A = this chain, B = another copy of it.
Amino acid sequence: MNFRAFREEDLAALVDEVRPLASEGKVATYIPELARGNPESLAVAAVDGKGSEVAAGDRDLRFTMQSISKVVSLAVALSEFGEKAVFGRVGMDPTADPFNSVMRLEMVRPHRPQNPLINAGAIVVDSMLLARGPEEAFHSIREMARRMTGNPQLRENEAVYLSEKRTGDRNRSLAYFLKSVKTIRGDVEEILDVYFRQCSLEVTVSDLAVLAGTLAFDGKNPLTGETVLPGKICRILRALMATCGLYDGSGEFAVRVGIPAKSGVGGGIVASVPGVMGISVCGPALDHQGNSIAGIALLERLSDRFGLRVL
């Protein structure tokens, strides 16, 4: 793939092409503040190894990272505690259950979340970071997000954070379950506070294209040139994204797009083509699995037309 072939006009045409698909999806409503998102919004950006960006659509759209932040908190945990400690606490295999499912936790022993990209897994990861205290834990995640995006201004959207904190009862159910079986320790509300905060980190597709690029270029941020993460951790993150990144829609995404990616219910998706580029899309209308319906379609066309598929 030659990045130069990748022109803004092409991206803009693709945006126009897939935007109507938004009508088949629905903006997330279980977090009231997210329900205010415009389902028709659609944006895309891509960044190559030198930090050059091409973008199209509603590129100024600001949205919250939501589950995409799980990649960031996992990166922090892997950096701090190492692979062995983290994967002693949470699995690394995909699951057919929805992102907020508690069932398998009860059914299978040890009561360990299937992987760190479903909610239960991310809560376990956050509980590990809490060892430093709640303030420190969140700051380490935000700092990592700032370095991976190259945006030192990155901060949380207070309204979304508060909205999620108020309504996040399923996550409370997961966390208290995990505590009751001693998979996590510590104060549940403190752990969830970190989780709700990281989900509310506000970004644009440009920010996330750089973050995806950092993962694609084995830890080197293509915009700032900073080495943010070791290559090994990026390979782990990309592998988990490839098999678990779109929840129970991960298999179909691999078939249709074939690039390691992670979605969030804010409508964002990051996709990392190893050694080639980082991509991000955002379209708040979601399919029934909680993934951006127009966003996936856009990535599918990008992947097909520019031969980005790695699988």
Contacts and interface: CB of A to CB of B under 8 A. Distances in A.
Interface of A: 91-97, 101-104, 106-108, 114-115, 169-170, 172-177, 179-180, 188, 235-236, 238-240, 242-244, 248-252, 254-255, 258, 260, 274, 309-311
7 contacts: A93-B249, A96-B97, A96-B114, A170-B177, A240-B251, A260-B311, A274-B310
A144 B254 CA distance: 24
Number of copies: 4
A50 to B, nearest CB: 22
A169 B173 contact: no
A83 to B, nearest CB: 9
Of A91, A173, A188, A260, the most chain B CB neighbours within 10 A belong to A173
A188 B189 CA distance: 13
Contact of A96 (B95, B177, B242): B95
Contacts of A235: 255, 258, 309, 311
A102 B311 contact: no
Nearest to A94: B94
